[in-house]
Amino acid sequence: MEDALITAIVFIGIYQIIKVFTDYLLKRKIIKAGHVDKAGILDTPKDKEENSYPTLKWGLVTLFAGLGLIVIELIDKNGSMDWMHNGHSFMPVGIELIAISLGFLVYFIISRIRKK
**Above pLDDT 70, what percent of the chain?**
74
pTM of the model: 0.48
- The pairs formed by 69-75 with CB atoms below 8 angstroms and a separation of 24 or more are 69/96, 69/99, 71/95, 71/99, 72/96
Indicate if the pLDDT at residue 70 is higher than 80: yes
C-beta separation of 57 from 104 below 8 A: yes
> In a 10 Å sphere around its CB, with 0-12 CB exposed, 13-18 middle and 19+ buried, how is residue 56 labelled?
middle
Provide the residue type at 72 as one letter.
I
Task: Give the integer Cα–Cα distance in Å for 30 and 28.
Answer: 5
Residue 10: the pLDDT is 92
Residue 81: the pLDDT is 60
Q: What is the pLDDT of residues 36-52, one digit of tens each?
A: 776 666 565 555 556 66
Q: What is the pLDDT of residues 72-87, one digit of tens each?
A: 778 777 665 665 555 5
The model's confidence at residue 57, banded by pLDDT at 50, 70 and 90, is: confident
